[in-house]
């Protein structure tokens, strides 16, 4: 008994989240990548994801009868951001739908749900809901990118 097929998700590119972009903002253009995300934060995420995959390889050796698959959240998120930047909603790519103020529409003193903090009219045009979380639409887009390869690899029916 027990699990025979496991998907372990990697970490998302938090250097793209409005709350991180606001809290760790830099005046140096070279601090940002071509998507507008903080390179140093996403470099740390890449390091963590590399170590996670190494640990997963060790688990696969220890449990050879279990199929353990890595879920590359960072790559799914990168694809969604890149597609959004190339589309009609490029101006909302790194902004919060529900928020107020600043370049990223995020203010740590005025959270979504607080009096006077507006919600965008169409959350489906945004990747980030409130600066801390992704919208349902962005999450669904990432799942669609990641699920088919996962189901095929794990020999699951779709």
Per residue in 20-78, pLDDT (tens digit) is: 999 999 999 999 999 999 999 999 999 999 999 999 999 999 999 998 999 999 999 99
Q: Tell whether 158 is covered by a domain.
A: no
Q: Tell whether 80 is covered by a domain.
A: yes
Q: Tell whether 58 is covered by a domain.
A: yes
User: In this structure, are residues 80 and 127 in contact, taking their beta carbons and an 8 Å threshold?
Assistant: yes
Q: Tell whether 86 is covered by a domain.
A: yes
pTM: 0.91
CA distances from 15 to 25, 150, 152 (A): 10, 25, 30
Q: What is the pLDDT of residue 3?
A: 78
Q: Kindly tell me the burial class for residue 102, based on how many C-beta atoms sit within 10 Å of its own C-beta (0-12, 13-18, 19 or more).
A: middle
In which residue are the tokens 């990747």 written?
Answer: 127
Positive or negative: CA dihedral 62, 63, 67, 70: negative
Q: Tell whether 47 is covered by a domain.
A: yes
Copy the structure tokens of residue 77. Answer: 């998120």
Report the chain's C-alpha Rg in angstroms: 18
Q: How many domains does the chain have?
A: 1
**Segments forming the whole domain that contains residue 91:** 5-153
HEC string of the chain?
Answer: CCCCEEEEECCCCHHHCHHHHHHCCCCCHHHECCCCCEHHHHHHHHHHHHHHHHHHHHHHHHCCCCEEEEECHHHHHHHHHHHHHCCCCHHHCCCECECCCCCCCCCCCCCCCCCCCCECCCHHHCCECCCCCECHHHHHHHHHHHHHHHHHHCCCCC
Copy the structure tokens of residue 148. Answer: 């088919």
Q: Encode pLDDT of 96-130 as tens digits.
A: 999 999 999 999 999 999 999 999 999 999 999 99
């Amino acid at each position: 008994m027990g699990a025979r097929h496991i998907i372990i998700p990697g970490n998302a590119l938090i250097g793209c989240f409005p709350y991180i972009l606001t809290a760790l903002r830099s005046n140096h253009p070279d601090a940002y990548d071509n998507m507008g995300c903080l390179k140093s934060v996403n470099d740390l995420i890449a390091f963590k994801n590399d170590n996670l995959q190494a640990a997963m390889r060790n688990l696969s050796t220890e449990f050879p009868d279990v199929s353990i698959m890595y879920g590359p959240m960072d790559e799914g998120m990168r694809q969604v951001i890149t597609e959004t930047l190339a589309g009609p909603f490029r101006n909302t790519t790194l902004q919060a739908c529900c928020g107020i103020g600043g370049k990223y529409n995020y203010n740590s003193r005025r959270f979504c749900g607080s009096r006077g903090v507006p919600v965008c009219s169409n959350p489906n045009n945004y990747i980030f809901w409130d600066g801390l979380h992704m919208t349902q639409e962005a999450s669904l887009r990432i799942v669609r990118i990641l699920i088919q390869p996962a189901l095929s690899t794990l020999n699951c029916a779709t």
